A and B are shown apart, each in its own frame.
Chain A
Amino acid sequence: MEATSSIDPELEFTSTGVNSSKLGMWIFLASEVMFFTGLIGSYIVLRLGSDTWPDPSQHLATSVLAINTFVLICSSLSMVLGLQAISQGDQKKLTKYLLITILLGTTFLVIKVADYVHMIHNNFTITSSLFGSCYYFLTGFHGLHVAGGIVTLVVVLIMAKKGRFSKSHYDMVECTGLYWHFVDLVWIILFAILCLV
């Protein structure tokens, strides 16, 4: 009980030498890999088992989705730049890049929703066909992940504004970044196998 002082050498000690938050985030990402294996695997099986699969370009506005892909890749870039900034101790730059990342993520979601509305208007809904079901289900879950990422990024931004991160202490920026890139990575795969093939 007496060991409550803030500088405790035992605290710094981890058995593997890897930072615990980062390790936890990677384990979470491993489980996310399995979650999307379940979703994408179901999609692959449903698709290969179906005799009547439409050409995606019949229903989807490929150019809009391509722009959205670009938006998300840009957001990943700004996230990386933000992390590089704080690893050199530049808090101002970090705040700037976090803000850009949030804006780009929000843009992605806005375009996504507008696209949904447009398609539903054109009578392509979640119950129109198996393709429709898969499309809305998979992109919907990806959208939820993006939304969750934005909320986390806002929290990180507020913390950054308060000057909670420094050159030697930026675990949370790093972990949020890992998650954000993973969401980007999932979209890259979804875009190719769901929207283009």
Chain B
Amino acid sequence: MSGDVDPKPGFIRTYVFSTDHKMIAKQYLFLGIFYLLIAGLFAVQIRMQLAHPDAEAPLIGKALWPQTDGKMPPEFYNMLFTMHGSLMVFFAITPIVIGAFGNFVIPLQIGAKDMAFPILNMLSFWVMFIGGIVMAASFFVPHGAATAGWTAYASLSSSSEVTSPILGHGQTFWLLGIAFAGTSSLMGGINYIVTVLNFRCRGMKLLRMPLTTWGLFFTAILNVLWVPVVAAALFMVLVDRLFGTSFFMAGPLASVEGGQPLLYQHLFWGFGHPEVYILILPVWGLVGDLLSVFSRKPAFGYKATVYSMATIVILSQIVWGHHLFTSGMNPLLGHVFVFLTITISVPTSIFFLNWLATLWRGAIRLTEPMLYALGIVFVFCIGGLTGLFNALQALDIYVHDTYFVVGHFHYTLAASVLFGVFAGIHYWFPKMFGRNMNARMAKVHFCLTFIFLNCVFFSMMYVGAGGHMRRISDPTTYTFLKDFQVWNRFMGYSTLALAAAQLLFAWNFFHSLFFGKKAQQNPWQANTLEWSAPTPPPHGNFLSPPKVARGPYEFNSPLSGDRDWLMQDDPAATASDS
């Protein structure tokens, strides 16, 4: 299977319907960056609307809504935040972190020639691609795109199109788009698990795998288990809309007696909470790798980090109820979920401590991937600590559905994962494309992004603690929010600056793609297997099948001679088994 390498495939087999995991990774990367751009522009539009609710919407206002002097109607605002969330989670972060990094890194780091099922791998990209088109198309159907938020709570999402055609088809397109994305994740997940379990090269024991691969492996497990659950829920919503059933409808809206709106929330968050970890686990792994490489020290407590990640995988599946504290859920059940949620902070603290201990007394090299990694450590700390507030039932009732929660999950998901995206791209760019990115430009980009990102997200938590609700298009209609308008403007301009800073990254990325300096085989002097493959790796990855003799973080080993790093497959020194 993975060995059927056609030495000279044609153009289409090389660049379009490629089964090479590295090309699929690049396809995922460009798809993800495209949707990151789109969804990012939505975010700018959202913040500008909140900064100036009475003014015309910049750029698009005059063209789209001449009848209101370019002022954005609330329905369109709903579409914006719905699609911002959905596209970011399912079509920007997932393709980049899981699709691109997963595909590129897993086979290289475990010493495999390719994924276990290359054709399935190709299909998973194209299914994701179709899903993206369906999502984008939803803006152009009558009555526009989905407006029910990225969570698509019933009954907002599940009211029947049959009985009320005014609802339009946007939500149906949304459901189909997510179904495609889910199918893609499932195919990818199966592929990753089999690859990690079965295609490790000789000597690559499970506990010799780099932390990034561990993170991606755990992610794949959560994907395989929980994507089907949300698929079940979304299909029920779909049937509610198209056939007029009432699985998730109650009261006068229901066509059939007995539906349970709360059931949807359980099913959605049953998937939704693992999804948070699906997105963040690869980034945690990546941080573990980067901190070790650029501190020139073995990752502190490697096994403890792996085990605590495994514990989080287990716990993450039984805490979904903390999203439902204000939904009318049984308070006794709520207490159970409070307890379980707080328990997650134990393993989280363990690997956080391991990160800090890795840095302790290291010979730190502040390269650009390292800067992003340190950025993740900082923003994830804030995101994690504010999570404690949301996890407590009594506090959550106060902050629920405010910008405090929005700020919290933007710190954990947007800030941490975005930095993870940048860290990963800068780290593997030389291996992926065979060229280097401009380091100085990347460092400036990091500083600007770091500053403005904190300006936006910290202000969110500030206004949220003051009671600013999320998902409202015009805060000035509430008297008690009038004083926050200055903060909304501040966030608006910070978002503009944040978006402008990304131009630096875009220039750096695309310029380096064609004109960057040729990269060496191991520019970061790391130990893991991807750096012992040629740059860029050919079809089949390794010139000869690697044989692993040691763990991934042997820095400053006495065996390594005058270098301070020791490749995992370096045959020179004899194996010192851990």
Interface residues of A (CB under 8 A from B): 1, 3-4, 8, 10-11, 13-16, 18, 20, 23-24, 27-28, 30-32, 34-39, 42, 45-46, 49-52, 126-130, 132-133, 137, 141
A102 to chain B, nearest CB (A): 24
B258 at the interface (CB under 8 A from A): yes
B256 at the interface (CB under 8 A from A): yes
Q: For the complex, give the distance between the alpha carbons of A34 and B226 in Å.
A: 7
B148 at the interface (CB under 8 A from A): no
Query: In the complex, are the beta carbons of B256 and A127 less than 8 A apart?
Result: yes
- Chain A residues with CB under 8 Å of B230's CB are 38
B535 to chain A, nearest CB (A): 15
Taking a contact as CB atoms closer than 8 A, the residue among A10, A15, A31, A38 that contacts B545 in the complex is A10
Taking a contact as CB atoms closer than 8 A, the residue among A27, A37, A49 that contacts B190 in the complex is A27
B513 at the interface (CB under 8 A from A): no
How many chain B residues sit at the interface, stated as a range, is: 35 or more
Interface residues of B (CB under 8 A from A): 1-3, 5, 7, 113, 116-117, 186, 189-191, 193-194, 197-200, 202, 204, 224-233, 235-236, 239, 243-247, 255-260, 263, 267, 270, 538-540, 543-545
B196 to chain A, nearest CB (A): 9
Known contacts A11-B3, A15-B204, then 15 further A-B pairs from the complex at CB < 8 Å, ordered by chain A residue: A1-B540, A11-B2, A18-B197, A20-B199, A23-B193, A27-B189, A30-B224, A32-B228, A38-B232, A38-B233, A42-B247, A51-B258, A127-B243, A130-B256, A133-B246
Nearest-neighbor residue (CB-CB) of B266 within chain A: A45
Nearest-neighbor residue (CB-CB) of B220 within chain A: A27
- Chain A residues with CB under 8 Å of B259's CB are 46, 130
A-B CB contacts (within 8 Å), total count: 136
Which of B116, B190, B255 has the largest count of A CB atoms less than 10 A from its CB? B190
Taking a contact as CB atoms closer than 8 A, the residue among B245, B539, B544 that contacts A133 in the complex is B245
Nearest-neighbor residue (CB-CB) of B202 within chain A: A13
- Chain A residues with CB under 8 Å of B116's CB are 20, 24
Query: In the complex, are the beta carbons of A10 and B3 less than 8 A apart?
Result: yes
Q: For the complex, give the distance between the alpha carbons of A46 and B247 in Å.
A: 8
A61 to chain B, nearest CB (A): 22
Query: In the complex, are the beta carbons of B232 and A42 less than 8 A apart?
Result: yes
B89 to chain A, nearest CB (A): 19
26 A-B pairs whose Cβ atoms sit less than 8 Å apart in the complex: A4-B3, A10-B545, A14-B199, A15-B198, A16-B197, A23-B198, A24-B191, A24-B194, A31-B186, A31-B224, A31-B225, A35-B228, A35-B231, A38-B231, A38-B233, A39-B232, A42-B236, A45-B260, A50-B258, A52-B258, A126-B243, A130-B256, A133-B239, A137-B235, A137-B247, A141-B235
Known contacts A15-B204, A126-B243; is-contact A49 B258 (Cβ 8 Å): yes
Q: For the complex, give the distance between the alpha carbons of A28 and B187 in Å.
A: 9
Nearest-neighbor residue (CB-CB) of A18 within chain B: B198
A28 to chain B, nearest CB (A): 6
Query: In the complex, are the beta carbons of B5 and A37 less than 8 A apart?
Result: no
* 3 smallest beta-carbon distances between A and B, as pairs: A38-B232, A35-B228, A50-B258
Query: In the complex, are the beta carbons of B229 and A35 less than 8 A apart?
Result: yes
B467 to chain A, nearest CB (A): 34
Q: For the complex, give the distance between the alpha carbons of A141 and B228 in Å.
A: 13
Nearest-neighbor residue (CB-CB) of A128 within chain B: B256
Q: For the complex, give the distance between the alpha carbons of A132 and B258 in Å.
A: 12
- Chain B residues with CB under 8 Å of A127's CB are 243-245, 255-256
- Chain A residues with CB under 8 Å of B233's CB are 38, 42
Known contacts A10-B3, A130-B257, A137-B239; is-contact A30 B263 (Cβ 8 Å): no
- Chain A residues with CB under 8 Å of B235's CB are 137, 141
Known contacts A24-B117, A127-B255; is-contact A137 B7 (Cβ 8 Å): no
- Chain A residues with CB under 8 Å of B231's CB are 35, 38
Taking a contact as CB atoms closer than 8 A, the residue among B198, B224, B258, B544 that contacts A130 in the complex is B258
Query: In the complex, are the beta carbons of A46 and B260 less than 8 A apart?
Result: yes
Query: In the complex, are the beta carbons of A34 and B228 less than 8 A apart?
Result: yes
- Chain B residues with CB under 8 Å of A133's CB are 239, 245-247, 256
Query: In the complex, are the beta carbons of B236 and A130 less than 8 A apart?
Result: no
Known contacts A31-B224, A42-B267; is-contact A15 B232 (Cβ 8 Å): no
Q: For the complex, give the distance between the alpha carbons of A34 and B274 in Å.
A: 14
- Chain A residues with CB under 8 Å of B200's CB are 15
B388 to chain A, nearest CB (A): 29
B134 to chain A, nearest CB (A): 20
